[in-house]
A and B are shown apart, each in its own frame.
Chain A
Amino acid sequence: MAKTVVIPSELDAAQRAENELLAEIAQYGYSEASQFAIKLAVEEALNNAIKHGNKFDDRRKVGLTFDISADRAIVTVRDEGGGFDPGHLPDPTSDENLEKPTGRGVMLMRAYMDEVSFNEKGNQVRLIKKNV
């Protein structure tokens, strides 16, 4: 059954929400590699929601929804910002971007999760990881 946690746009609140999700993941026997991947991707998604989506505006919330079962984890992160176009992000692994300090979050989500999808507005991301 899906569970939703709503947090303010604060990084320590995100950490607590993330820990709640990870505690549930741990109950289902996900491999260490999968747990690492989920933690990484969810942290990126939450950080993006707070920093870029909500711009640390404490009037805006972030919703973390997770539906965990033995065979897959579905995590959705939603912010209250204006959204963005994930289809036109610069490639952080290109030579000209390699030494930029930012811009790797979405790439890492895509690398570590089996499915990553955004809503049309771009203020919600859905991450799926299969337990293999």
Chain B
Amino acid sequence: MQQELPRLNISSEGGVTIVELTDRKILDELSISQIGERLQGLVAKEKDPKFILDFSSVAHMSSSALGMLITLHKRVREKNGQLRLSGIQPPIYEVFAITRLNEIFQICQSKEEALTTLS
């Protein structure tokens, strides 16, 4: 059975790339590496990457997804860029808190709030 490509809604606003993860289970093991590659490709294209990853539709995730996000975060940082995570539902936020990754990532309530934090 061919795996469908995970869907990402990508838009930009004022030099900021907004990536919405649109599937509830998009952050399952099969999708993670595909998403990671696509996001890193997007970051690589930007001279001054400013990204918002919106999780409003995401209801489940695994530690592999956290690993993908950490790697992405490092790539953005290497280019002196900025990354925000937004729309994280409370159960998912708890995963970030338990792993202390809420201290690594800048997490905003919404895309709109994240936009206001990006210079």
Query: Taking beta carbons and an 8 Å cutoff, which residues of A are in contact with B?
Result: 11-12, 14-15, 32-33, 36, 39-40, 43-44, 47, 92-93, 98-102, 104-105, 107-108, 111
Contacts and interface: CB of A to CB of B under 8 A. Distances in A.
Interface residues of B, number: 26
B13 interface: no
Given A44-B62, A99-B70, A12 B30 contact: yes
A98 B101 contact: yes
Contacts of A99: 70, 73-74, 104
A93 B63 CA distance: 13
B66 A104 contact: yes
B71 A101 contact: yes
Contacts of A92: 99
A74 to B, nearest CB: 21
Contacts of A14: 29
A107 B67 CA distance: 14
Contacts of A33: 91
Contacts of A101: 66-68, 70-71
A86 B53 CA distance: 34
B23 interface: no
Contacts of A105: 63
Contact of B95 (A11, A47, A108): A108
Contacts of B103: 98
Contacts of B119: none
Contacts of A40: 60-62, 95
B35 to A, nearest CB: 14
Contacts of A93: 99-100
Contacts of B3: 12
